[in-house]
Amino acid sequence: MKNILITGGSGFVGMHLTTLLKANGYTVSYLTRKINPKLDIPQYLWNWEQKQIDLEAIANADAIIHLAGANVNGKRWNAAWKKEIYDSRIKSTEFLFDIIAKHANHLEAFISASATGYYGCTTSDKICHEDDLPGDDFLANTCHHWELAANQFTQLGIRTVMTRTGVVLSENSEAYKKISMPIRYGLGASIGSGKQYFPWLHVDDLCGIYLKAISDKNVQGVFNAVAPDYISNTQLMRTLAKHFKKPFFLPNIPGFMIKILFGEIADSLLNGSRISSEKISGTGFKFKYSSIEDFVNSLH
């Protein structure tokens, strides 16, 4: 029985992933900053900032899924929070690499989260593929360096996978709750031009991609983790309004208002590109939710 060590395992994605892995016969353990006695999961302490880790976690792991990282939407961006976003991803990955390179282990795979922010905050009809160059803004730079740090594991002969993840949706996800709330009150409207694309996927499909990355030894390198359809912000909001039987006639929310409300992160809300899912589909992975209609039809 393979043991999968997850960083960030107690988060939204991590909890869903834990359930799926256990249902498929894997054992699961967490690397965590603080032991949660309510969780029926083996937990090991680590603190990448202080260079501390319980080495038993590494010794017992057959694969690592690295999900840890400060919430990009957790606070209004300033220099300190942007540094936290960057360091919690890149430096934590580099710390894991240094530890694993120095200590005995039998790791078969290292699987790291990344994000579609790699492609930059732009809007165009160009379809982004895994071999494209990164964008030139903060999120793109963060994702690029994040992947470079993860790719070091290939030097140790460890199969390495990186998932450029879009907005993760489910009926209980924070992203969905924030998007749908104004629509539920009849206040749905497009953001900015409304033409920007909205790369997304259901949490079940994201976890399915992680399961595929663990179980299929032919899966390695970078993969976009997004649903196959290309949907704009306007299409998303109109589809949700139709589902809730709410009007959708308000004028678009101007970009300058979004920037006032959200600061620098507004660029990621006002822009979005078409992201290809062809590479992950080419591995034989099948999406449960291929379109936004599939997602909406699953809502209660």
- In Å, how far are 2, 29, 54 from 61, measured between CA atoms? 8, 8, 12
Nearest-angstrom CA–CA distance, 246 and 42: 46
**Angle formed at CA 212 by CA 176 and CA 280, multiple of 5 degrees:** 70
Task: State residue 224 phi and psi, 5-degree precision.
Answer: -75, 130
Look at residue 270 and tell me whether its pLDDT is greater than 80.
yes
Nearest to 176 by CA among 164, 166, 167: 167
**Facing residues of 165 across strands?**
115, 225
Asked if 252 contacts 189 with a C-beta cutoff of 8 angstroms, the reply is yes
Which is it for strands 43-47 and 52-53: parallel, antiparallel or unpaired? antiparallel
Predicted confidence (pLDDT) per residue in 69-117, tens digit: 999 987 889 999 999 999 999 999 999 999 999 998 999 999 999 999 9
At residue 74, the pLDDT reads 77
At residue 99, the pLDDT reads 97
Nearest-angstrom CA–CA distance, 43 and 151: 26
Quick one: average pLDDT of 66-71?
Answer: 95
At residue 300, the pLDDT reads 77
Predicted confidence (pLDDT) per residue in 33-62, tens digit: 999 999 999 999 999 999 999 999 999 999
At residue 11, the pLDDT reads 93
At residue 236, the pLDDT reads 96
Quick one: average pLDDT of 196-220?
Answer: 97
**Angle formed at CA 229 by CA 227 and CA 226, multiple of 5 degrees:** 20
Look at residue 266 and tell me whether its pLDDT is greater than 90.
no
Asked if 227 contacts 170 with a C-beta cutoff of 8 angstroms, the reply is no
At residue 265, the pLDDT reads 84
CA 34 from centroid of its chain's CA atoms: 22
Q: How confident is the model at residue 132 (pLDDT cuts 50, 70, 90)?
A: very high
Q: Return the exposure string of 11-28: e unless at least 16 CB atoms fall within 10 Å of the residue's CB, then b.
A: ebbbebbbebbeeeebeb
82-85 — which CB contacts under 8 Å span 24+ positions? Answer: 82/138, 85/142
Q: How confident is the model at residue 1 (pLDDT cuts 50, 70, 90)?
A: confident
Q: How many residues does the chain have?
A: 300
Q: How confident is the model at residue 289 (pLDDT cuts 50, 70, 90)?
A: very high
Look at residue 264 and tell me whether its pLDDT is greater than 90.
no
Predicted confidence (pLDDT) per residue in 169-190, tens digit: 999 999 999 999 999 999 999 9
Which is it for strands 159-165 and 221-225: parallel, antiparallel or unpaired? parallel
Q: How confident is the model at residue 137 (pLDDT cuts 50, 70, 90)?
A: very high
Look at residue 28 and tell me whether its pLDDT is greater than 80.
yes
> What domains appear along the chain, each with residue ranges and CATH number?
3-169+199-226+276-282 (3.40.50.720)
**Facing residues of 163 across strands?**
113, 223
Q: How confident is the model at residue 159 (pLDDT cuts 50, 70, 90)?
A: very high
Nearest-angstrom CA–CA distance, 230 and 274: 6
Nearest-angstrom CA–CA distance, 230 and 277: 10
Look at residue 268 and tell me whether its pLDDT is greater than 90.
no
pTM of the model: 0.96
The tokens for 185 are: 């009150």
Quick one: average pLDDT of 218-244?
Answer: 96
